[in-house]
Structure 1
Amino acid sequence: MANTPLTVLGLETSCDETAASVVRLDANGRVEVLSSVIGTQFAAHAPYGGVVPEIAARAHVEMIDSVTAQAMKEAGLTYSDLSGVAATAGPGLVGGVMVGLSFGKAVALARGLPLVAVNHLEGHAVSARLAADIPYPFLLLLVSGGHCQLLSVEGVGACRRLGSTIDDAAGEAFDKIAKSMGLPYPGGPALEKLAEGGDPSGYELPRALLGRKGFDFSFSGLKTAAARFAATVATEEERRDLAAAVQAAIARQLSERTDKAMAAYAQERPGQSLRFVVAGGVAANRAVRSRLQEVAERHGFSFDAPPLAYCTDNAAMIALAGAERLALGISDPLDAAARPRWPLDPEAAAANPTHAFGRKGAKA
C-alpha cells in the first residue's frame, strides 16, 4: 500500500452507462468516494428493448466529457489533484469501451498521470469494498446482465474461477424473460416489481445442470420455458405468478451453486475467516440477496454486497480497482488495448472455456 493517499479518476463505458467517479484510497486502505456520476441511456435503448451497441457508443462520445467534468466538480478537485486515471478496458461492447479508455488516455497523457486499464469484472469484484472493510481473500458471486461467475478472490487482480454460466447470464435471463412478458426496459427491475405478491409455485420451470459436477450455471432452458409460458398468460394475476416463479427459479439456482461452492471453499480453508461477496446488477434483487444471505449464514460466511448504487455499472468501482493497483505500483502503457473479451482467470478460460473459442479467444 502506498504511503500517501491516492486520488483516482475512474471512467466506465463498457455497456450503456457513461460514468465517471473520483475515489480516494488512503494508506490504511480506507476508501472515500468523492463523487460518482452516471449518465444513463435508458431512453435511447427503450424502443429496442435492449442495448444497441452503435447507439451506446455514440451516446458515450456525446456524454463522456460532461459526465467527467461533473464528477471532478462534485469532488471539488482539478486534474492536478489526481494521482492517476483508471478506465475500463474490457470486457464489454468494444465501441463503448474505446470511448472511455481513449478519454482516460488523453487525461493521463495531458497531465502526466499513470493510467490503469481496468478489467470491468475486477471493478465489480471490489465494488463491495467501496462501502465496507472486506479483507482478501473472499468468495465472490459476480452476477450481472453479461456475467455469472463464482470466483475465489485471493488479492488484487488474483481471481480463480470456480464456476461460470455455460450459456446465458442470470441478468440476461431476467431481461429477456421480462421482454417476452412485455415489460419495459430495463427488464430485471420491472420483473422484480411485478413479482411482488405473486405465487412462485404457480408455474413449474426447469432446473438446469442438477446432475453436473462443479459450480457452473445455465439459464437458457429457463429463459425458453418462461417465454413459452409468457405467450399463454391472460390475466394480471398470472403475469405476477410467472414473474415470481422466474425470480424464484433464478434465485434458487444461484443459491444452490453458491451453496456447493461455499462447502468446497470452506474445506480448503479450515480455521480461517470465511467471507462471501455478491456483486453485479442482479445483486440488487432483494429475493436473490435474501436466498444468498441464508446460504452464507448456514455455512458460517460473512455476507456483503455493494450498496444498491454500486451494484450496477459505475465508475467508483473502476476507480477503486485502479487505485488498488496503483498502490502496488501497477500501471499500464498508453497503448493499452480495448478488449471485448477479458476473463478474470485467463488460465481457466483457456484450459476450460465455457464458450467455444472465437477469433479473439475464449469468452469470459
Structure 2
Amino acid sequence: MQTSLIKRVWQQIKEPLDGWLMLFLGLIFVLSMVLLYSANNQSFDKIDNKLIYTSLSLIIMWIIARMRPQSIMNFAPPIYGLGVLLLLAVHFKGVTVNGSTRWLELGITRIQPSEIMKIALPMMLAWFFQKYELSMRWWHYLVAALLMAVPSALVLKQPDLGTTLLIAAAGLFVLFFAGLPWKVIFAGIGLGAASLPIVWNLLHDYQRRRVLTMIDPTTDPLGDGYHIIQSMIAIGSGGPWGKGWLNGTQTHLDYIPERTTDFIFAVYSEEFGLAGNVLLLVLYLLVLSRAMMITASAQTLYGRLMAGSITLSFFVYAFVNMGMVSGILPVVGVPLPFMSYGGTATVTLFVGMGMLMSISNLKR
C-alpha cells in the first residue's frame, strides 16, 4: 500500500516534467555546485543560498510546467505591467552597487527587476501577436517595438547596457518568429550599423572603455583591462585537462574578479581545462537541441513564439558570457546560465524552462 502511494506521488511529480531537459539541467547543476564550492574559497554559504534559490525555482518550474500555455499567456499583461512598475521603483528607490542602480530591497531579499523583464517582455509580445494572429498588420510591429522600448529604456538608464541588449534580443526573437519581413530585418541591421557613431557618443565613459579594452586590454592592465587579462590567463593556464578541482591558482590567489558570478567560466576553465569546456558546451547544446525540438512542435503561435525566444535567449546568454570572459566581447553583466551564482537569474531561467515544458506537454 505504502509503495503504491509513493509510486502515485512520484508519477504526479514527474508527469509535467520533460525528462531530457531535467537530465541535462541536473548535470549542469551538479557541475555548478562543484565549481561554486571552489570559486567561493571552499565555503558553503553561497552553496546553501543557491540550493535555496534552486529549490524554490524548481517548485515554480513544476507549477508552470503543469499549466496550459493558454493559461500562462493570460498572465502576460499583468506580469509585464508589474515588471515595468518594478523598474520604475528601481529608478526612484533602487539600491546602488558599484555605480549602478539595479536592485530593489524587499526586506528579506534583494531582487533585480530587469531579470524579470527577460521573461515578461517575450511573454507580452507573444500574447500580443497571438491576440492579433488573424488580423496582423504592419502597425502591429510598431506597437511591439514600443512595448520593447519602454523596459529597455528603463534598464538602460540604470545603467545596464548588457541586460538591456539581452531584453531587447528576447523581444526581437519574438518578432522574428512572428514573421517580421526579412527586408525589415536587413533594413534594421543597416540602420543599426549606420547609427553606431551616434550610439558611441551616447555611451557612458565606462562603456566606451569596455569596448576599447576588449580590443586591447593591455592598454590598462591594472584598470579596465584587469578583468579580461586575468580571465584569459586563467582560461589559457587550464590547458587540455585543467589544473584540477580546488587547484586553480588564479582563482584561489584572488586574481579573478567576480569569480562566483559573471566570471565563473574562467574558474571552470582553469580547473577543468578544455575537456571540461567541451563537456559544458555539449550539455548546453543538448539543452538547446531539446528546446528547439519543443519550439518546432509547438501547437500554437504563442507557444512557438515563447519557445523560440526562450531557446535563442538561452543561447545568447551562454555565448555572451563565454565571449566576454574569453576576451572576444566587451565585459557586460551577463551570468553563465545555471552556473553563475545569482538568485533572480536562477529563478528566471527555471521559469523559462517551465514554460518550455508546458508548451511541450500540450502535444501529449
Q: Same fold (TM over 0.5)?
A: no
TM-score category by the smaller chain? under 0.3
TM-score (norm 2): 0.28
TM-score (norm 1): 0.28
Structure with greater proportional strand content: 1
User: Higher relative contact order by CA 8 Å / sep ≥ 6: 1 or 2?
Assistant: 2
Structure with greater proportional helix content: 2
